[in-house]
Chain A
Amino acid sequence: MFFHITLERNMQLQPRHFGPHLRDKLVAKLMKDVEGTCSGRHGFVVAITNVEDIGKGLIREGTGFVTFPVKYQCVVFRPFKGEILEAVVTMVNKMGFFAEAGPVQIFVSNHLIPDDMEFQSGDMPNYTTSDGSVKIQKDSEVRLKIIGTRVDATEIFCIGTIRDDFLGVINDPGAAS
Chain B
Amino acid sequence: MSLEPFNRLVRLSARAFYDDITMKGDNQPKSGRGDNRGMAVVVLDALTRRQWVREEDLAKALKLHSKQLRRTLRFFEEEKLVTRDHRKETAKGAKVFSAAVAATGDGQQMVKEGEEKTKLHTHSYCCLDYAQIYDVVRYRLHRMKKKLKDELDSRNTIQEYICPNCGKRYSAFDALQLVSLTDEYFHCENCNGELVAESDKLAAEEMGDGDDNARRRRREKLKDMLQKMEEQLKPLTLQLARVKDLPVPEFGSLQAWEARANAAARASGDSSAIDSSKSSQGQGYGGTPMPFLGETRVEVALSGVEVKEEDTESDTKATSMKVLPPWMIKQGMNLTKEQRGEVKPTSKMDESSAPIDDKKSKDVKEDEKSIQDEYLKAYYEALVKRQKEQEALKKMQQESETSRASASDFSNGVPEAHAERRVGMKSKREEDENDDVEWEEVPPAGNTGGTYKLADLNVEADASGDDEDDIDWEEG
A residues in contact (CB < 8 Å) with B: 91, 93-96, 98, 105, 107, 109-112, 115, 121, 125, 147-148, 150, 157, 159, 161, 163-164
Contacts and interface: CB of A to CB of B under 8 A. Distances in A.
B184 interface: yes
B285 to A, nearest CB: 46
28 contacts: A91-B179, A93-B179, A93-B184, A93-B186, A95-B175, A95-B185, A95-B195, A95-B197, A98-B179, A105-B176, A107-B173, A107-B176, A109-B175, A111-B157, A111-B199, A112-B154, A112-B157, A112-B159, A121-B184, A150-B173, A157-B176, A159-B159, A159-B172, A159-B173, A159-B175, A161-B155, A161-B156, A163-B155
Contacts of A112: 154-155, 157, 159
Kindly list the 3 A-B residue pairs having the minimum CB-CB distance in the complex, ordered from nearest: A94-B184, A109-B159, A150-B173
Given A94-B185, A150-B173, A159-B172, A109 B197 contact: yes
Contacts of A121: 184
Q: Identify which of A91, A110, A150 gathers the most chain B CB atoms within 10 Å of its CB.
A: A150
Given A93-B184, A111-B197, A98 B176 contact: yes
Interface in B160-192: 161, 172-173, 175-176, 179, 184-186
Contact of A111 (B159, B185, B186): B159
Contacts of A115: 215
Contacts of B155: 112, 161, 163-164
Nearest to A110: B197
B364 interface: no
B158 interface: yes
A23 B100 CA distance: 74
B172 A107 contact: yes
Contact of A96 (B154, B173, B175, B199): B175
Interface in B396-413: none
Nearest to B159: A109
A92 B284 CA distance: 71
Contact of B158 (A94, A125, A148): A148
Contact of B172 (A94, A109, A125): A109
A111 B176 contact: no
